[in-house]
Amino acid sequence: MILGYIEPPKKRQIFMAKKLKKGYFVRGQFVAEGSELDLELKRELKGTDSLSKTDLKRESSELQDLGESLLILRQDLVEKLSTAGHLPDSLIDAVEQAKKITNFEGKRRQLQYVGKLMRKLDEQDVQALRASLEEQQSGSAHETQMLHLAEAWRERLLKEDEALESWHLAHASCDLQELRALIRQARRDNKTQPSDISKGLAPRQSKAYRELFQMIKEHLETDDSSDSEDPLKD
């Protein structure tokens, strides 16, 4: 019997596909997540040592809310942002579409799209939008302050004859003859009627009473006197 040598079968080499690293490209260069370059870029963007998922989620939520606030931004401020190049046409169109949608789910999806477009804006564009919202809010506060001031002046002018001189010193351009006539008429018209009180009704406000308020308010706005002294103070 002849014994021969049998060569053992060669081990078959198994090639495994190398798992791709997660990352992104910056200026044509691949940046792996978690790498030193990745951390450095995130530090530059955030201004801190790291940019966590919580930070990213919060920033995304803030931009979503900011985008939704475009729905209530005054048209003149929207046009101002658009002219300055801070709002792209695609975002403006998306906001206009959101205003027209009444279906809850449809509006929600459209607002998500608005948020997606917001995340594409540069930081300077986002800051410009925030500034416009602050301008609108400041304007509303200023208007409220003006209404309160006009109301206070009207009540003082109706109660005190001496108040007319104080008003004239602050608003020399006001027609005193017309102002006196409105004050006299408002005093006559706005006398409380016993029948109204017995019925639990508030005193009726006359046309002169309303016109007096409007006249005062117009002069406050023209003379920019929102910061003037409270007329009810001694």
Q: What angle do CA 186, 187, 188 make, to 5 degrees?
A: 90
Residue 32 DSSP class: E
pTM of the model: 0.44
pLDDT digits (tens, 9 = 90+) for 54-92: 777 788 888 899 999 999 898 888 998 988 899 999 999
Q: Which domains does the chain carry?
A: 23-121 (no CATH), 142-192+203-222 (1.10.60.30)
For residue 147, is it left (φ>0), alpha (ψ between -120 and 50) or beta? alpha
- What does each of the 234 residues of the chain score in pLDDT, given as a tens digit? 555 555 555 555 544 444 556 777 776 677 787 777 777 777 666 655 455 677 777 888 888 999 999 998 988 889 989 888 999 999 999 999 999 999 999 999 999 999 999 999 988 899 999 988 888 887 767 777 888 899 999 999 999 999 999 999 988 889 999 999 999 998 888 775 555 545 554 455 788 888 998 899 888 888 764 445 555 454
Longest dimension (CA), the chain: 142
Amino acid at 6: I
pLDDT for 9 equals 56
Tokens representing residue 156 in the block: 């003082």
pLDDT for 227 equals 46
What are the phi and psi torsion angles at 195 (to 5°)? -65, -35
pLDDT for 204 equals 56
pLDDT for 10 equals 56
The residue with tokens 């990352």 is: 23
Q: Are 156 and 163 in contact (CB under 8 A)?
A: yes
End-to-end CA gap in the chain = 133
Pairing of strands 29-32, 23-26: antiparallel
pLDDT for 12 equals 54
The C-alpha atoms of residue 90 and residue 117 are separated, in whole angstroms, by: 8
* 59 closest CA partner among 72, 75, 48: 48
Residue 70 DSSP class: G
